[in-house]
Amino acid sequence: MADNKRIDDYADYDDDYTPDERAEARRRRRIRNQTSAAIVVVVVLLALAVAGFFGVQYVIRLSNSQRDAQKLQQELMELENQNTEEQVVIEAPEE
């Protein structure tokens, strides 16, 4: 059974392995760890980009809705002003 185990699976190496075998196992482990770290960095950056995209969309949508609400309120005030101006009382002519 001991023959099925890989060199880089052990944290402590026996004297059965040559320095070259141990160096090769460290190199493979280092490459595997670097690959894992690169994948994690890419996933985190993608998550930040997606969150930023949706965050910007939310802020734009919020500012547009506020601008539209202000515009509607201004139009309502203008209509009210027009209505009060049009309600001029016409008096009968004096004879």
Domain count, the chain: 1
Residue 92 domain-assigned (yes or no): no
Residue 16 DSSP class: T
pLDDT on residue 1: 42
29-41 pLDDT per residue, tens? 999 999 999 999 9
Residue 57, in any domain of the structure: yes
Q: For residues 18-30, b (16+ Cβ closer than 10 Å) or e, as one string?
A: eeeeeeebeeeee
Q: How far apart are CA 42 and CA 89, in angstroms?
A: 74
91 domain-assigned: no
| pLDDT tens profile 5-62 | 565 555 555 567 888 888 999 999 999 999 999 999 999 999 999 999 999 999 999 9
Position 54 in a domain: yes
The domain containing residue 29 runs over which residues? 2-86
Question: In this structure, is residue 82 part of a structural domain?
Answer: yes
Domain annotation covers residue 94: no
